[in-house]
Amino acid sequence: MAQEDFDQEMLEFEQRYNKKESGEKADKMRKLVIVLGAVAAALLVVLLVMWINNSKLVKDLNGEKADLTNELVELQGEYETLNTTNQAINDSLAVEKEKVGQLIERLQKTEATNRSKMRQYEKELGTLRTIMKGYIHQIDSLNTLNVALRHEASEARKEAAESKKAYDELVTTTEQYAAKASAGAVLKARGVVLTAINGSNKETDRSSRTVKLKTCLSLIENSIAERGNRTIYIKVFGPEGAQLPSDQQKAFRCGDEDMMASASRVVDYQGEEIEICIYFAKVDGAPFTKGVYRVEVYSSETKLGTADMVLR
């Protein structure tokens, strides 16, 4: 009986031990499930935050793409408004318009999330804007030139009418005639023309081929003007409006004003009409850039005339 009691007692002890061990395992399992649940919830929150942030980023990038598209469309419209009678400028404008259209097409086919492409398109937009500003400056210069030419024509007609009236009045007295003779003795010119010359000494309108500029004009017939050697001066201005320097520049005086000539030439004037040309080259053969160039022609007495041209 003692052995049976002992075996029974050991069985009961083993059952209690197994029951306790099973309870501990269950507790550990419950704790593990709770921990894993907490981790899963945290990961879900993180994923949700990342999704929200990504959605906001995509929305912002799409907004930037839309703004860039609108700016390109606006630039395209601005190019459409540019117009001039100069065919060379119109041809160049057509090329730039096509570039804007192609850029819009590429932008529409590109995802807003492609940041490198978006930055590249922004730079191209900036370049196209800068080019357009250059064309606006050229067109404004040409319009200014046209206005100036119309004004000069009007002034010339007015001057002719006034000269005729003055002549009719001056013939009435010797004193008036003397005054007219003095005024008429001033050297005058007509037909001022500015052209570009290439390395083969031929005319060109390409800035890349230009090596010098040529100014031609006619000193008109004047029987009472002073005869002998007369110096004719020119002042050459570049697309930016500043007078261009050269190795030929020299100081001179026109009337009561001191000036600096870009180039000059001495001619033997004997009262008869004579055609002359004066050449101008930049310092050290520096290249010519695109744009509108202007020349002003002077004698020691007065300004003889001006002319403009466009290099492309």
Q: What are the sequence ranges of the domains in the chain?
A: 1-154, 187-311
Q: Quick one: pLDDT at residue 124?
A: 81
- Residues 52, 56: Cα–Cα separation, whole Å: 6
- What is the pTM for the complete model shown? 0.44
- Residue 226's pLDDT is 84
Name the β-bridge partners of 296: 235, 306
CB-based contacts of 25: which residues, under 8 Å, 6+ apart?
none
* Token output for 273: 């009409």
What topology does CATH give the domain 187-311? Immunoglobulin-like (2.60.40)
Gap between the Cα atoms of 1 and 31, Å rounded: 45
Residue 101 to residue 103: CA distance in whole angstroms: 5
pLDDT tens series, the chain, 312 aa: 556 666 676 666 666 666 666 666 766 777 777 777 777 767 776 676 565 555 565 565 676 778 778 877 877 777 777 777 777 777 777 777 777 778 778 877 777 677 777 788 778 878 877 877 777 777 777 777 667 677 776 776 777 677 677 767 766 654 554 455 555 678 899 999 999 999 999 999 999 999 999 999 999 988 888 889 999 999 999 999 999 988 888 999 998 899 999 999 999 999 899 999 999 998 888 899 999 999 999 998 899 999 999 999
Q: Kind and range of the H or E element at 173?
A: none
Amino acid at 118: M
